[in-house]
Amino acid sequence: MDKRHPFITAIAATALLSAVHSAGYAGVPEAGTAGYTIAHQVNLRSEAGAQAPVIALLPVNTAVDVAEIIQKDKRNWAKVYVRSPVSSVDSLIEGWLDLGVLDTEKPDSKKLFKAAKASNNPHLQRLLAERAFAMEPMSVEIPAFIETLIPGSDPATAKRLQTILSSVRQRQPVSDEPVKKIYDYYGGLLTPFAEIRDQKITMITGKAIGTPEYFTDNRYYPAYYGNTRIGLVRTEMRIFKSDSSDVQGVLASYLPDAAVPDPENFNGKDIHSMVTNYALVPERPKREVNAQEKALLKKLTLQWIQQQPKSERQNFLKVVQNESVIQQGDVKINWYSGHLNQSGQQFLIGQWTFSSPSGAHYNNDPFYAALVMIAEQQADGSFKLARGSGNLYCEVASLVDLNGDGTDEIYVECQRMEDASDYKILQRGKAGWDWVPEKTR
């Protein structure tokens, strides 16, 4: 308990706040401007005042719009709107924050850590280091620095810092949920995508029910690009959108794994990544599709085209045969190899994508094709076109065995309109390749 005179305490707090801003922060936001949370974890309250109910816990670096500022209980309070991580226009939730936890500029973990090491004030060192650590919890250097700050003469501070460090060291990807789940991570949002029971995958659609994982923050899930683990995502707060009929998202942060190199051009926030609450089986090596197999896939595709209605045949042939169109970049060709079963048989994919829906429209051509042609290896080693091949209007994103049965699923992106996509899964069944069935929650 602090037994100092309240005026002395206020002076000390003001001095510390001034020191914080001189250590790299820009200043306190005003009404009608934007701001960012700078504390490790901030209480968003339903009303102004320290006794008002907490409606959300905001992580460091949360962007908010400041609507108004009032004084209550000798403190300044800001009415804020929490910004959407996807859209800078839409707001998700409103509430009240202590103005002292906001800054006009986005915090930077490297700048904070540099300021912490440069400071001669032990309290400021710990404060800045904790905030840097909250923004970069996979760091090795920052917790090592915090270790040097633990004072033996101050048990309360020592216990607090040790708790912060141990909670990070002990964290593990979630493994106590009874059902295996797959999530989609994009734009700072973690959204339920599919679930697995008895090796059967079903898509999650409709409004999510109140299961615990949608309400809990600070849970960690492994993120995968294909079957390669690329780090973790940590839930920050649930997004309240009661008027939405869609599955409700969870605000989350991407934490890269320094031990695993990121895929080329990978951006943890801006790219879709599969996130699971369980560990995928170790990746089996995939071989390259050789020139002979590419020629075979093209031959099988041309045979498939000849079986299509006459009205569509010429368009398909234009996609596959027109080398001048291909060279101009209007047609993309990609090749994939996946595991058909545990016995070592493979399946091959040849994909021809003709422009995009918007690009086709701009070229005055109503035709859009994403031919995903799947050839399966037979017992004698030959390949045969599989049922489910065809014009799917979708592009392959990755191949990965999600349910551990030895057969890779095909994770695809299906464009709905310009700059908008759905993500779906193709799975091998008794009748060939088909969409994973959906269910209403």
Q: Vertex 23, ends 21 and 25: CA angle to 5°? A: 45
Q: Is the dihedral of CA 416, 422, 425, 429 positive or negative?
A: negative
Query: Do 298 and 320 touch, CB atoms closer than 8 A?
Result: yes
**Cα–Cα distance measured from residue 184 to residue 195, given in angstroms and rounded to the nearest whole number:** 12
User: What value does the mean pLDDT take over residues 210-236?
Assistant: 76
pLDDT higher at 111 or 83:
111
Q: CB neighbours of 1 closer than 8 A, spacing ≥ 6? A: none
Q: What is the pLDDT of residues 300-322, one digit of tens each?
A: 999 999 898 887 887 788 777 75
Give the confidence band of 196 by pLDDT, cuts at 50, 70, 90: very high
Highest mean pLDDT among 4-8, 80-84, 426-430: 426-430
**Cα–Cα distance measured from residue 214 to residue 247, given in angstroms and rounded to the nearest whole number:** 10
The type of residue at 373 is: M
pLDDT at 243: 47
- The model's pTM is 0.66
Q: CB neighbours of 384 closer than 8 A, spacing ≥ 6? A: 375, 376, 378
Give the confidence band of 85 by pLDDT, cuts at 50, 70, 90: low
pLDDT higher at 95 or 362:
95
pLDDT higher at 14 or 23:
23
3-state helix, strand, coil in the chain (%, to 5): 25, 35, 40
Task: Identify the residue whose tokens are 């810092």.
Answer: 161
Quick one: 428 exposed, middle or buried, by C-beta within 10 A (0-12, 13-18, 19+)? buried
The type of residue at 186 is: Y
Q: CB neighbours of 357 closer than 8 A, spacing ≥ 6? A: 368, 415, 417, 418
pLDDT at 14: 44
State both tokens at 23: 């250590």
Provide the pairing of β-strand 63-72 with 75-83: antiparallel
Cβ density class 189-224: b for 16+ within 10 Å, e for less: bbbbbbbbeeeebebbbeebeeeebbeebebbbbbb
| Number of residues written out for the chain | 441
**Cα–Cα distance measured from residue 432 to residue 426, given in angstroms and rounded to the nearest whole number:** 10
Q: What is the pLDDT of residues 27-52, one digit of tens each?
A: 888 998 989 888 777 888 989 998 89
Across 115-263, where does the E strand assignment appear? 180-186, 189-197, 200-205, 220-225, 228-238, 250-256
**Cα–Cα distance measured from residue 141 to residue 293, given in angstroms and rounded to the nearest whole number:** 49
**Cα–Cα distance measured from residue 244 to residue 384, given in angstroms and rounded to the nearest whole number:** 45
Q: What is the pLDDT of residues 262-285, one digit of tens each?
A: 777 777 777 788 999 888 888 888
**Cα–Cα distance measured from residue 152 to residue 264, given in angstroms and rounded to the nearest whole number:** 46
Q: CB neighbours of 278 closer than 8 A, spacing ≥ 6? A: 173, 175, 180, 181
Backbone φ and ψ of 75, nearest 5°: -135, 155
User: What value does the mean pLDDT take over residues 424-440?
Assistant: 91
Cβ density class 304-314: b for 16+ within 10 Å, e for less: bbeeeeeeeee
pLDDT at 310: 83
Query: Could you tell me what percent of the chain has a pLDDT over 70?
Result: 76
